[in-house]
Homo-oligomer: A and B are copies of this chain.
Amino acid sequence: MPRRGLSTDQVVQAAAELADAEGLAAVSLSEVARRTGVRTASTYSHVAGLDDLLARLAALALTEIADRAAAALAGVAGREALAALCDAYRDYGLAHPGRYAATRHPLAPDGPAGAAARRHADLTRAVLRGYGLEEQAQVHAVRLVGSVVHGFVTLELAGAFAHSQPSSERSWRHAVEVLDDALRRLSTAAPESTDPETTRSTP
């Protein structure tokens, strides 16, 4: 019996292609084994189990997104940078729905997925630096941008915007534009907010 020469990366890769083609729910050790040409039990030589495989898949997706975002951000700033960052997420999600869905898998803060998650936060922070926000506002902005992007892509992939005019593409451009506008206004707004609701005691 000749060896297939399988590696962990190849197993994860097979899972990624399966997820994109058939949906994340279709990813099972059995099906991955089938597609790599080995028996199910043999995959345990490369991954610790289904949960480990899904975690590695999440790490792969996060890394790929961060790579693309970093590349897209080279040489741009301000509004263009925000659009490039947001587009990197959405384009990846549309091109690789299964991997994107894997991203929601609960990930350990340590490990490769944690490192990738930190890269994401850093990239968003780098983009937001161009808006001149103060520290606290920047955290809020990171979360807002993340919410809009993640929410839109998730709903779009779920088909919530299909079969309805205008196209989701239009709405996406509109959303990014509104986001840019809002961030710009936040930067020019009171740099030291005196709103009693947001400047309570800071423990």
Contact = CB atoms under 8 A, between A and B. Distances in A.
A186 B175 contact: no
Given A139-B171, A163-B109, A178 B148 contact: no
Bin chain A's interface residue count. 35 or more
Interface in A135-173: 136, 139-140, 143-144, 146-152, 154-155, 158-161, 163-166, 168, 170-171, 173
Contacts of A155: 143, 146-147, 150
Secondary structure dominating the interface of A: helix
B181 A185 contact: yes
> Which 5 pairs across A and B sit closest by C-beta, in order of nearness?
A151-B151, A147-B151, A147-B152, A150-B151, A140-B174
Interface of A: 104, 106, 109, 117, 136, 139-140, 143-144, 146-152, 154-155, 158-161, 163-166, 168, 170-171, 173-175, 178, 181-182, 185-186, 197-198
